[in-house]
Amino acid sequence: MELDEAKLKFIHAWGTLGTKWGINRTMAQVHALLLVATQSLSASNIMEELNISRGNANMNLRALIDWGLVMKELKPGDRKEYFYAEKDIWKMSKLILVQRKKKELEPIMVVLKDLNNAVEGDGEDVKTFNTTIKDLNDFALHADKVVEKVVQSDINWLLETFLKQFLKS
Amino acid sequence: MELDEAKLKFIHAWGTLGTKWGINRTMAQVHALLLVATQSLSASNIMEELNISRGNANMNLRALIDWGLVMKELKPGDRKEYFYAEKDIWKMSKLILVQRKKKELEPIMVVLKDLNNAVEGDGEDVKTFNTTIKDLNDFALHADKVVEKVVQSDINWLLETFLKQFLKS
DNA sequence: CAGTACTTTCAAAATATTCTGAAACATACT
DNA sequence: AGTATGTTTCAGAATATTTTGAAAGTACTG
């Protein structure tokens, strides 16, 4: 396969699949484009490459920068901004994990905490409700802790001690 | 707080938050309703409780059954179908994990496998591309294995041996 | 078989999300 | 200050997803 063909295929696929990850097609495509770029690209480069408007390019670049997945670079003697992606896949994954935790886990925890033991009484139905909320709450706390630890700690150490030990094919 | 108020709050919140988990509001609300129900409910009960149409109720119940989160029950002497949710939160989480893996991870793996080493040549740009794809591929394989093992194995054992050991607050 | 009680399907309507493009804004240079 | 070269914003347009509701389908009963 030719390099350009492969890159296009990758960018296109990443865009399609991005939607399943809760990020929009363009954001995923910009990310993909920068992931396989050998140099940093300007907003105009990206617009042209992906056939998108300036506004769209700008908004999604900002979002990617927000997530920490993309960085801005200024080249001396050039007023344009150039962009490049974090290429370390482990770092990238951690950054994505942090965002997903923020988006998917934290809002749920707020609600569960609020409902946990908020209903008093000892009818069967109250007990059932309280148990369900408590179970969900416990689970959310566990999940939160795992994510936090994975993000904080040395992922390689985690991998070596955990994966190699218990998850051997 | 009154039980009914708490239930409504939970159902409402679960619906809103469900969208962030890649499932639609109604599906999440039906799930929430069944999670906190003390008996199994008919389609009509659910329509009424959530103010949704018959078609919507039906489609989302099917989806929940597909995911394994909800089961159908037939009561003797009654032609209606009744529905109830899996209440074991660990089982529930595993079922959700399986679906998310299917939706989010597997399609990416197909693409990466296809692109892995598909480009030949030893230019700097080819090497960079191949490295990126390989890294992503390795990561996806790892993630896949982790999910698979978590789902297969006794989650409590995993928790006890791994979490309690290494992830203590 | 006809009637009843339910479930399923799916085209069209409603809703939500994303994208465009032009105007506003910012900054550096002459 | 004026001009050139960018970036950012956001209302409206385009697109995608979800929901409705009525018709079709299924299955049990007498």
Could you state, in order of their start, the residue ranges of all structural domains in chain B? 3-85, 89-166
Q: Which CATH architecture has domain B3-85?
A: Orthogonal Bundle (1.10)
**A83: nt with nearest C1' to CA:** D7
Size of interface A-B (CB pairs under 8 A): 123
* A45 CA vs D3 C1’ separation (Å): 25
Task: Give B29-44 pLDDT, tens digit per residue.
Answer: 999 999 999 999 999 9
Q: Classify residue B164 by burial, with Cβ atoms within 10 Å: 0-12, 13-18, 19+.
A: exposed
Q: What would you report as the CA-atom Rg of chain B, rounded to the nearest whole angstrom?
A: 21
Of B10, B126, B149, the CB nearest to A115: B10
Q: Please check whether strand C approaches the CB of A53 to within 7 Å.
A: yes
Task: Give B58-72 pLDDT, tens digit per residue.
Answer: 999 999 999 999 999
Q: Which stretches does DSSP call E strand in B46-164?
A: 70-74, 81-85
Q: Could you give the C-alpha distances from B144 to A28, A119, A158, B17, in angstroms and in order? A: 21, 40, 16, 25
Strand D nucleotides with an atom less than 7 Å from a protein beta carbon: 5-11, 17-23, 28
Q: Please check whether strand C approaches the CB of B55 to within 7 Å.
A: yes
Inform me whether the C-beta atom of residue B159 falls under 8 Å from chain A C-beta atoms.
Answer: yes
Ordered per-residue pLDDT tens for chain A, 169 residues: 999 999 999 999 999 999 888 899 999 999 999 999 999 999 999 999 999 999 999 999 999 999 999 999 999 889 999 999 999 999 999 999 999 999 999 999 999 999 999 999 999 899 999 999 999 999 999 889 888 888 886 655 555 555 555 554 4
